[in-house]
Chains A and B, each alone.
Chain A
Amino acid sequence: MPLVEVRRLTKHFARGGGLFAAKTIVHAVDDVSFDIEEGETFGLVGESGSGKSTTGRCMIRLIEPTSGAVRFRGDDVLAFDRARLRTARREMQMIFQDPYSSLNPRMRVADIVEEPLIIHRIGSRQERSDQVAELLRLVGLDPSHASRYPNEFSGGQRQRIGLARALALRPSFIIADEPVSALDVSIQAQVVNLLLDLQEQLKLTYLFIAHDLRLVRHICSRTAVMYLGKIVETGRTDSLFANPQHPYTRALLSAIPATNPGAPRQRMDLDPALVNREAPLREVGAGHFAAI
């Protein structure tokens, strides 16, 4: 059984609607289905407005989806009541893009990392304090810095603090929404390596939401490409990058900046007329599906 199953997930937002304007419905996430296997890194890629972040947020109900199902170890997350959802969130955690706005600037690092343990009433004060030190060591921070505030840390260190907090409840599944895109180039690789190390050490499963296709190719075993709220192509990452079938995937891959200057470019612009919005996903190779 897959660890996470997403079935026909849909989120509509109502937009506008005034004296004269009719309300329009935005299909932010439109009939999205995929599975994530235990221990793998599943990539969700797309550009702004593709619905990739909304999908991630719907999965742990930071946003309530309009319809569909999200099953975690077989249980329907969308049917959980508050108490059950709270327990479920011990296992499903999220880390965010911006390490500057996602940490409370008035809390000390120790308190930021300890807070989930307090909320879930885990351990005595001393046990929690030991755990905080252990978590900080785990993400490569010096536990003696625990009494400092977030603004005393660099962007990469703040992302480590966010990760320590996310790991406090010993989750098995982490949704990482653009976890390195706000970081300096020389720091991105450090945080990616940390994510890889932690995955191995703690047997984590990741949903990796990103727009950096080079990074996705590097760390994701399988990838889904989202375009205007729908998954237009999905499959093993190597197969998808080697043999993209959907016109949007082709345009996206051809737009990856070169790292070999002077090499001939074969840019493919997307002709929206080529995209059949109603086409269902069909198998185009082993485990490789495209909406064409």
Chain B
Amino acid sequence: MADSLLKVENLTTVFDAAGQRVVAVDDVSFEIGKGETLGLVGESGSGKSVTAFSIINLVPPPGRVTSGRALFQGRDLLALPEQDIRKVRGASIGMVFQEPAAALNPVMRVGAQIAETLTVHGLATRREARARAIELLRAVRIADPELRIDDYPQQLSGGMQQRVMIAIALACRPPLIIADEPTTALDVTVQAQILDLLRALTREFDVSLLLITHDLGVIAEIADRMAVMYAGRIVEEGPVREVFARPLHPYTQGLLNSIPGDAPGARLQAIAGVVPSLANLPPGCTFAPRCPHRMAVCTSAVPAIVEIEVGRTVRCYLRSNEAEAPRHARPAIETTHAVG
């Protein structure tokens, strides 16, 4: 991997409600390199959004991070006081959400909203900020930015609103953008345009992207590496091409197999059963009740993460004996590879 930009270690986030503890994110670790796009894919309740929100301290109460670290630019984001993390949000980590119409201020011109991001973080005077806002609108390929800058959000289509959100996220030239389902609310053709734009901008602005999505198609389009989440845990991680070509976890295999394919009229290969409730998780591997390869050991204890190859991990007993070595031995293994 390129130089690490964000390193999340053993993140756990819980929600305490009605005397019950719900673990929404369970011992999640991942890394994003400089300029890299990591896709975090999962279904509703998988914990993918809570993971992202935990990093920037935006988990809504009663949720709270109970353990872990998020190392970013030499600091642990999870240990920062609110006033400091507030400076990180927007300035060093840009954010793009699913519903641009809900994220934008409806009574403020779009140019002013971009400019505000710059002035709030003390990066420009008001006059400079307006000129920068026009540049940013041009960067996100909005035609006639000098005119559009004075539009209100509702004068723009959903796709254009999402471009404005991306311009705001880029305004302070952050090294990292977190995008939570950025194209889910958009039409297919607009989604394709926004994905093309995000892919181009990560290069032009040399920005890393943490992309949260439920859509494997979106991952295939723009992510370099992917991590698959299920019921609060990362179950598989690796380069996108390798995971698609050779999925290791039965859940990932099931997801990829259930995509409608080239056999019209045939039954789809569905994953049996339902996504478990986080408040009532099965013991051991949380996918075990739905897993076609279930073994006795699967319900005994949570399987450990094993590294099959460098940067290719899976949390599954089927693969436990394929591991090159226990995870803590990783540096030594890497050295061996370098020599060999």
A residues engaging B (CB < 8 A)?
A: 47-48, 154, 156-157, 184-190, 192-193, 196-197, 211-215, 217-219, 221, 237-238, 251-252, 254-262, 265, 267, 269-270
Q: Is the Cβ of B268 less than 8 Å from the Cβ of A189?
A: yes
The answer to whether A258 and B275 touch (CB under 8 A), given A196-B267, A215-B260, is no
Interfacial residues of chain B within 253-278, with CB under 8 A of chain A in the complex? 254-256, 258-261, 263-272, 274-275
Task: Determine how close the nearest CB of chain A comes to the CB of B188; give it in whole angstroms.
Answer: 5
Q: Is the Cβ of A257 less than 8 Å from the Cβ of B274?
A: no
The answer to whether A211 and B264 touch (CB under 8 A), given A189-B270, A259-B244, A261-B241, is no
Instruction: List the B side residues contacting A269 at CB < 8 Å.
Output: 189, 193
Identify which of B220, B223, B268 contacts A260 (C-beta below 8 A): B220
Interfacial residues of chain B within 302-333, with CB under 8 A of chain A in the complex? none
Q: Is the Cβ of A261 less than 8 Å from the Cβ of B267?
A: no
Identify which of B188, B266, B274 contacts A187 (C-beta below 8 A): B274
Identify which of B193, B220, B254, B267 contacts A259 (C-beta below 8 A): B220
Task: Determine how close the nearest CB of chain A comes to the CB of B203; give it in whole angstroms.
Answer: 15
The residue in A157, A251, A257, A260 that gathers the most chain B C-beta atoms within 10 A of its C-beta is A257
Can you add 7 more A-B contacts, CB < 8 Å, to A217-B264, A258-B221, A261-B223? A187-B270, A187-B274, A189-B269, A189-B271, A218-B268, A256-B217, A270-B189
Q: Is B214 part of the contact surface with A, judged by Cβ < 8 Å? A: yes
Q: Is B150 part of the contact surface with A, judged by Cβ < 8 Å? A: no
Q: Is B215 part of the contact surface with A, judged by Cβ < 8 Å? A: yes
Instruction: List the B side residues contacting A252 at CB < 8 Å.
Output: 188-189
C-alpha spacing A48/B270, complex, angstroms: 28
Q: Is the Cβ of A156 less than 8 Å from the Cβ of B188?
A: no
Q: Is the Cβ of B265 less than 8 Å from the Cβ of A218?
A: yes
Q: Is the Cβ of A156 less than 8 Å from the Cβ of B265?
A: no
Q: Is B216 part of the contact surface with A, judged by Cβ < 8 Å? A: yes
Q: Is B43 part of the contact surface with A, judged by Cβ < 8 Å? A: yes
Q: Is B187 part of the contact surface with A, judged by Cβ < 8 Å? A: yes
Q: Which residue of A lies closest to B257 (CB)?
A: A189
C-alpha spacing A156/B240, complex, angstroms: 28
Q: Is B196 part of the contact surface with A, judged by Cβ < 8 Å? A: yes
B residues engaging A (CB < 8 A)?
A: 43-44, 187-193, 195-196, 214-221, 223, 240-241, 244, 251, 254-256, 258-261, 263-272, 274-275, 290
Task: Determine how close the nearest CB of chain A comes to the CB of B98; give it in whole angstroms.
Answer: 14
Q: Is the Cβ of B44 less than 8 Å from the Cβ of A184?
A: yes
Q: Is the Cβ of B274 less than 8 Å from the Cβ of A237?
A: no
C-alpha spacing A190/B215, complex, angstroms: 17
Q: Which residue of B lies closest to A191 (CB)?
A: B270
Identify which of A215, A218, A255 contacts B192 (C-beta below 8 A): A255
C-alpha spacing A161/B221, complex, angstroms: 35
Q: 8 pairs across A/B with beta carbons < 8 Å? A: A47-B189, A157-B274, A186-B254, A189-B271, A219-B265, A251-B189, A256-B217, A261-B240
The answer to whether A267 and B192 touch (CB under 8 A), given A184-B43, A259-B217, is yes
Task: Determine how close the nearest CB of chain A comes to the CB of B178; give it in whole angstroms.
Answer: 21
C-alpha spacing A251/B189, complex, angstroms: 7
